[in-house]
């Protein structure tokens, strides 16, 4: 199962970027987009573009392209972003605040409805128009609000405790920004966000480029 998922992972990661570009086009009144244009935008080959988009079940018309509106709907449907998911966020620090301020999430069907923190200076305040509650109320409020998704933005050494409270409150999907691997029951999904993953890609691109430059000398 894990082996089956791997090849699609980059495609899934790229889908929001397609979605962003296609939404821009729709706003500009564009109805059809050709594969070469998407390839230039994504900085990928046309074969990769076609494979990526085939995952959503939509196929372009040869020599013409994809219908923008149809493709948007197919991507949103594949990602289940045509339904709104409500989430709570724990850790109202700078990262938590950045995520709550991220403009794209509403379009992607994610609504962060409340934040939790352990810091008395933050409890009772509002961050990005969300109330910050005492973390001791996490389990109770999550259960009452019937929220299924939780976002962890606390330091690594507090993340497991937060995850345990989330699970106790009925959370079934955790988006984990803490730099630690979480232990959760089998029926809970964790997506760990390793910010340094992008830095690794950039570093490899840079060192390869340096090699290329060297070999030209």
Residues that bind a second copy (CB under 8 A): 2-3, 6-7, 9-10, 12-17, 20-21, 41, 43-45, 47-48, 78-81, 85, 93-95, 97-99, 101-105, 108-110, 149, 156, 172-173, 175, 179, 181, 189, 191-207, 209
Nearest to a second copy of 39, 137 (CB atom): 39
Smallest gap from Cβ 65 to a second copy, in A, equals: 19
* Distances in whole angstroms, Cα of residue 165 to Cα of each of 8, 77, 100, 151, 205: 32, 31, 21, 12, 40
Would the annotation count 215 as a binding residue?
Answer: no
Q: How far is the CB of 217 from a second copy (least distance, A)?
A: 15
Which pair of structure tokens corresponds to residue 197?
A: 């993953």
Q: Spell out the long-range contacts of 164-168 with Cβ–Cβ below 8 A and sequence spacing 24 or more.
A: 165/135, 165/138, 165/139, 166/90, 166/138, 166/142, 168/139
- 5 Rama class: left (phi>0) / alpha (psi -120 to 50) / beta: alpha
Q: Residue 6 or residue 28: which is nearer to a second copy going by CB?
A: 6
**Is 2 part of any known ligand binding site?**
no
* Residue 94 known to bind ligand: yes
**Gap between the Cα atoms of 2 and 9, Å rounded:** 11
Q: Which of 117, 113, 180 is nearest to 148 (CA)?
A: 113
Report the nearest approach of a second copy to the CB of residue 214 (Å). 13
Closer residue to a second copy in complex, CB, 85/158: 85
Say whether 77 counts as a known binding-site residue.
Answer: no
Q: Is 92 annotated as a binding residue?
A: yes
Give the shortest CB-67-to-a second copy separation in angstroms: 21
**Based on CB atoms, which residue is closest to a second copy, 64 or 201?**
201
Cα four-point dihedral sign 52, 56, 59, 64: negative
Nearer to a second copy among residue 14 and residue 137 (C-beta): 14
Give the number of other Cβ atoms within 10 Å of residue 207's Cβ.
Answer: 10
Binding residues for NAD(+): 91-96
Binding residues: 91-96
């Amino acid at each position: 199962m894990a082996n089956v998922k791997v090849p699609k992972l980059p495609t899934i990661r790229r889908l929001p970027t397609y979605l962003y570009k296609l939404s821009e086009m729709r706003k500009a009144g564009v109805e059809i987009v050709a594969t070469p244009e998407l390839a230039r935008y994504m900085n990928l080959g046309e074969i990769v573009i076609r494979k990526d988009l085939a995952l959503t079940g939509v196929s372009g018309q040869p020599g013409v392209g994809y219908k923008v509106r149809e493709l948007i709907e197919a991507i949103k449907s594949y990602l289940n972003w045509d339904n709104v998911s409500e989430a709570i966020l724990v850790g109202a620090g700078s990262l938590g605040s950045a995520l709550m301020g991220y403009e794209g999430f509403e379009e992607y069907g994610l609504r962060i409805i409340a934040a939790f923190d352990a810091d008395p200076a933050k409890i009772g305040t509002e961050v990005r128009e969300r109330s910050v509650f005492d973390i001791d109320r996490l389990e109770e409020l999550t259960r009452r609000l019937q929220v299924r998704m939780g976002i962890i933005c606390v330091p690594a050494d507090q993340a497991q405790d937060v995850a345990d409270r989330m699970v106790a409150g009925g959370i079934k999907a955790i988006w984990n920004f803490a730099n630690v691997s979480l232990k959760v029951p089998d029926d809970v999904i964790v997506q760990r966000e390793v910010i340094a993953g992008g830095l690794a890609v950039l570093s490899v691109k840079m060192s390869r480029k340096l090699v290329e430059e060297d070999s030209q000398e």
